[in-house]
Amino acid sequence: MDKNAVKELIARRVAKELKDGDVVNLGIGLPTLVPKYLPENVTLILQSENGIIGVGRLTDENKDVHITDAGGNPAAIIDGGCYFDSCTSFGIIRGGHVDATVLGALQVSENGDISNWIIPGKMIAGMGGAMDLVSGVDNVIVAMLHTQKGQPKILKKNTLPLTAAGCVKTVITEMGVMRIRPEGIVLEEFNPEYTIDEIVAATEATLIISDDLKPML
């Protein structure tokens, strides 16, 4: 699969995790593809941590250079949406008013630790709102490639600085859907393009295979 097809596959599967009416924060990059694949009966209220509730689909007609999302990209707002300052925005996040967040990650551990803000020695733009999101939102979904340059990203223990500990609920990659459970990380769905042995080999963490394992849809 080429890179774009992989991203679309992951985004399509993430879209099935979200419920109609959910207030959802989408990280930059791959997570921004998710709304494209929502079922017709599901409408989300998208939140951007720089101070928007009701981020809408950007078109040539509604493009406004004064409106950007948290990644600095042009954004639009739906009818009934609103703007507010960063204090209010992070009060919404920390107060538990966002139902789900979808973010990328550099590493995830088998007990739900996430590293996604820094690689020591490399320049960074800043930690953004990730630390607040993964601490203030109950349903934390990681959407990412299963490996990086052939190296596993799902580990027994993270080697990069943590963004937060024990917060991730679900990990969705091009290889499958994994849930963080008290007993460890459980593979519940697999991409039939890969064998179970290939998925296990690409995962450093101890991968528990669900008794109800099914193909990834």
How many CB atoms are located within 10 Å of the residue 61 CB? 6
pLDDT at 200: 98
Region 40-59: mean pLDDT is 91
Whether the per-residue pLDDT at 208 is higher than 90: the answer is yes
Interatomic CA distance for residues 24 and 103, integer angstroms = 11
**pLDDT at residue number 97:** 96
Please compute the mean of the pLDDT values over residues 200-211 and round it to a whole number: 98
Give the pLDDT score at 45.
96
Per-residue pLDDT, 69: 85
Q: What is the pLDDT of residue 125?
A: 65
Indicate the pTM of the whole model.
Answer: 0.94
Task: Report the side by side order of strands in the sheet with 114-115.
Answer: 114-115, 107-109, 154-155
Q: What is the mean pLDDT of residues 5-33?
A: 94
- 153 pLDDT more than 90: yes
Give per-residue pLDDT as tens, 107-148.
Answer: 999 999 999 999 888 877 666 789 999 999 999 999 999 999
The residue annotated as part of the active site, out of 49, 110, 189, 204, is: 49
State pLDDT tens for residues 62-100: 878 888 888 788 888 999 999 999 999 999 999 999 999
3-state DSSP call for residue 178? strand
Instruction: Identify the pLDDT of residue 95.
Output: 96
Looking at the DSSP bridge assignments, the partners of residue 181 are 184
Please state the rounded mean pLDDT for residues 152-166: 97
Which residues, in sequence order, are CB contacts of 183 under 8 Å at separation 6+? Answer: 208
Tokens linked to 71? 């990644």
Angstrom distance (rounded) from CA 101 to CA 136: 10
49 is catalytic: yes
For 163-190, what is each residue's pLDDT tens digit? 999 999 999 999 999 999 999 999 999 9
